Structure 1
Amino acid sequence: MDKPIDKAVADLGRDIGEYIRQQRNTAKISLRQLAKLAGVSNPYLSQIERGLRKPSAEILQQIAKGLRISAEALYVEAGILEQREGGALADAIVTAPELTERQKQVLLDVYESFRRENAAADHRAPAAPNQPAATNQSEE
């Protein structure tokens, strides 16, 4: 019975590692650079990215700082926190220290109104074909 739990923990480690690698590649930061920015060893970060180690919340916070993303985003990916309705943008608004509570609420209200508007528009729009018809096919 421990096998499924062990596999789930291993999958979480692999998922967070893949997410960190994607974020690092998107930011065009080398493994060595991120390790230095996060204050962790190069081999340890490599093990995290390969899913061999599951980082603590503190290490995730350091990695997030190095990647210049919210720690909450990493916590959600690692399964430490549940994602709020509204996703990463709502999380960023809620955790922004430079905003007052009133400003946060106004931004969340505006964001939610845009989401509702877009969802309603999606329901009204006719379904688009998955692939456009090919007009220039090579001859074989």
Structure 2
Amino acid sequence: MAKLSMHGAVGNLGEYVRTQRQQAQLSLRQLAELADVSNPYLSQIERGLRRPSAEVLQQIAKALRISAESLYVRAGILDSEDIGPRMVEDAIALDPRLTARQKSALVDIYRSFVGMNDASSDELTEKLTHAKEDS
């Protein structure tokens, strides 16, 4: 049973790498060269047949200009809750339809909303704590 879940994670990783490669408009050969891995090995990763090391994932992420953490999550190395905001920012950064200025503005807005939600959550917790103390 564990093998199936690992294979599922590896397949999901491969699909994600392929999608990111295509969005970056890179051929398999180009990405393999940029990431310093062989064409067949990268092809096996994309098809979900191989589970690359963290080092190889980092090389692929660098070549694709995405966070290594997003690949670590898909490979099952990191928990997705650890990097949620980073993935949103990566998605904004990779969208070719946006200008650099628009990307910067969106990231700033996103960070301000997330910050407000964190602050609101902290305020709510504090109010609930004080309400319990008063009762």
TM over 0.5, shorter chain: yes
Unpaired stretches in structure 1, ≥5 consecutive residues: 94-105, 117-140
Instruction: Name the structure 2 match of 1:50.
Output: 47
Judging changes above 3 Å, is the alpha-carbon distance between structure 1 residues 88 and 33 closer, same or farther for their aligned structure 2 residues? farther
1:41 is aligned to 2:41: no
Instruction: Name the structure 1 match of 2:114.
Output: 112
Larger Rg belongs to: 1
1:12 is aligned to 2:14: no
How many residues are aligned here? 101
Question: Residues 21-36 of structure 1 correspond to what in structure 2 (within 5 A)?
Answer: 21-36=18-33
Percent of counterpart pairs with the same letter? 52
Q: Is the 8 A contact 1:35 1:45 kept in 2?
A: yes
Task: Measure the CA separation in 1 of the matches of 2:59 and 2:115.
Answer: 34
- Deviation for aligned residue 1:90: 7.0
- Deviation for aligned residue 1:84: 3.0
AA in 1 matched with 2:44: Q
Task: Measure the CA separation in 2 of the matches of 1:18 and 1:11.
Answer: 11
TM-score scaled by length of structure 2: 0.65
Judging changes above 3 Å, is the alpha-carbon distance between structure 1 residues 114 and 85 closer, same or farther for their aligned structure 2 residues? farther
2:86 to 69, 86, 89: 89
TM-score scaled by length of structure 1: 0.62
Matched residue of 2:81: which SS?
Answer: coil
Task: Measure the CA separation in 1 of the matches of 2:61 and 2:111.
Answer: 27
Judging changes above 3 Å, is the alpha-carbon distance between structure 1 residues 88 and 113 closer, same or farther for their aligned structure 2 residues? closer
- Deviation for aligned residue 1:48: 0.4
Q: Aligned-pair RMSD on alpha carbons?
A: 2.9
